[in-house]
Structure 1
Amino acid sequence: MPSPTLTDKVAKMIRQDILVGKFEPSEKLVVADLKKRYEVGASPIREALVQLSWSKFVVVEPQKGCWVAPISTSELADLHESLCVITPVLLKQAIAHGDESWELELLTAYHKLSRLKSMQEEYDWVEWQDRLRNFHESLLKAATSTTMLSFFADLLNQIQRYRFHAINNGLSINTIDVDECESIVKCVLAKDTENAVIKYNRYLSNMILQLDQAVSPAA
């Protein structure tokens, strides 16, 4: 695996600073300021900003500048609708085609997530985010549609922006519904596809509702 380039490293740093709220949604990103902040030249900064625009973390307008991507209730609703379209298909595929190694990976992801319920003081919300994302990815990993899986990963990236915004505005780790995740896993392992889809859709809808409540004042 090739080593990450300087551009990749700068993009990762900017992305992390966007997520943790050091740059606010819609805030203008000035190359000169970013050079000082990250102690690198203008070229890797500009390349990193373009790279981040591909994943919709920033918006680049030629001749005008670059901004942190805005957030809105309408975009969040669009993300939710997209999830509702593709996740049932992916979950059905995963249950139909998943093997024992996939089941073990899913159980491991769930176990790591569930440990946060009793060990909240030992983990910060960045760790929470990582484990939660790993759970979602593991759940659908055995699906056969690579195009929809790629789209799902893009949706997770965007929802991650909204979740961090919500966290920065007071969303608690206590909002993780680990019991609901356990219920989903049990249905999946039992090959109860219908109930697995129903429970996962309900879980995603509740998650979006929580984020919408955090976003609405800023929309």
Structure 2
Amino acid sequence: MPTSAKTRTDEVLDRLRTDILGGRFAPGERLKFAPLCQVYDVSVGLLREVLSRLAEQGLVLASPQVGFQVTPISVEDLLDLTRTRMDIEGLALRRGIERGDMAWRARLVAAHFTLANTQRRNEEDPTRVTPEWEAAHTDFHDALLAGCESRRLYAIATALRTSACLYRRWSEAIDATDAARDPAQEHATILQYTIDGDADAAVAALADHIELTTTLIVAARE
């Protein structure tokens, strides 16, 4: 029984997370229990657990007055999130380079190979990336953070990256970023510096990668 209950919770969590990131629910929109229970065919208790876990990931906001809602977005919050990501993810990557073993580097190379060989743009809607590329992109960045050998640092860095997904999905700049950047080269540069053990250069390349996304989002919203 516990196993099946956990599996069902994870299934609904994945579905609701995908729907939020896919734009089915807008930033700031209230997430009401009655219609959500019907849509996802779940109990109030299970839905509350799912929403609480999404709140931990930064995709949902819980407040006494409003209840649960999709996390609102703003330029001010994005800038704060970006600065924090640069600090935390940079620290995690630096520790990984200092402490990571051969298995960690092998995982990085494998994750980058998959990312580099996965179609990025959706043929039916070129303003969106494919789910396969999004998954490969997440796996590559997750691999970058995983070598830090700190459960808490890794959890914080991962939560910040998840929060940033909301901005990437809702960015009006997403269809213009290809003309202003070369994501494939950015990822390759980060990987090369990391494999070479050049922590300063790798952290700087990762910071530039994170900051450029924010710069393009802010520019598109002005």
Q: TM-score range by the shorter chain?
A: 0.7 to 0.9
How many angstroms does 1:26 deviate by?
0.8
For the residue of structure 2 that corresponds to 1:67, the secondary structure is: strand
- TM-score, normalised on structure 1? 0.84
How many angstroms does 1:5 deviate by?
4.4
Q: How is 1:38-57 mapped onto 2 (pairs within 5 angstroms)?
A: 38-57=40-59
AA of the residue aligned to 1:165? W
How many angstroms does 1:121 deviate by?
4.7
- List gaps (5 residues or longer) in structure 1: none
23 and 120 in structure 1: CA distance in 2 versus 1, 3 angstrom threshold: closer
Task: Give the structure 1 partner of residue 90 of structure 2.
Answer: 88
Contact 2:118 2:136 in 1 (8 A): no
CA distances 1:16-67 after superposition (whole Å, capped 9, x unpaired): 1111001101112221211221223333223322332232322223364322
41 and 150 in structure 1: CA distance in 2 versus 1, 3 angstrom threshold: closer
For the residue of structure 2 that corresponds to 1:60, the secondary structure is: strand
Q: Does 1:198 align with 2:192?
A: no
How many angstroms does 1:119 deviate by?
8.4
Q: How is 1:61-72 mapped onto 2 (pairs within 5 angstroms)?
A: 61-62=63-64, 64-72=66-74
How many angstroms does 1:106 deviate by?
0.5
182 and 45 in structure 1: CA distance in 2 versus 1, 3 angstrom threshold: same
CA distances 1:183-216 after superposition (whole Å, capped 9, x unpaired): 22111222222222222211111122233345x3
Structure-1 separation of matches of 2:213 and 2:41: 38
Match of 1:155 among 160, 174, 177: 160
Contact 2:173 2:217 in 1 (8 A): no
- State the identity as a percent: 28
- List gaps (5 residues or longer) in structure 2: none
Q: Does 1:187 align with 2:193?
A: yes
Aligned length: 214
CA distances 1:156-203 after superposition (whole Å, capped 9, x unpaired): 11011111222xx46148466111211221112222222222222111
- TM-score, normalised on structure 2? 0.83
- RMSD, matched Cα: 2.7
Task: Give the structure 1 partner of residue 32 of structure 2.
Answer: 30
Q: Which moved more, 1:9-18 or 1:148-157?
A: 9-18
Task: Give the structure 2 partner of residue 13 of structure 1.
Answer: 15
How many angstroms does 1:73 deviate by?
1.0
Structure-2 separation of matches of 1:26 and 1:208: 20
Q: Which moved more, 1:121-130 or 1:83-92?
A: 121-130
Contact 1:117 1:178 in 2 (8 A): no
49 and 170 in structure 1: CA distance in 2 versus 1, 3 angstrom threshold: same
How many angstroms does 1:117 deviate by?
5.7
Task: Give the structure 2 partner of residue 129 of structure 1.
Answer: 134
Q: Does 1:212 align with 2:210?
A: no
For the residue of structure 1 that corresponds to 2:62, the secondary structure is: strand
CA distances 1:72-105 after superposition (whole Å, capped 9, x unpaired): 1111111111122223322221112222211111
194 and 61 in structure 1: CA distance in 2 versus 1, 3 angstrom threshold: closer
Q: Which moved more, 1:85-94 or 1:54-63?
A: 54-63
Structure-2 separation of matches of 1:119 and 1:72: 26
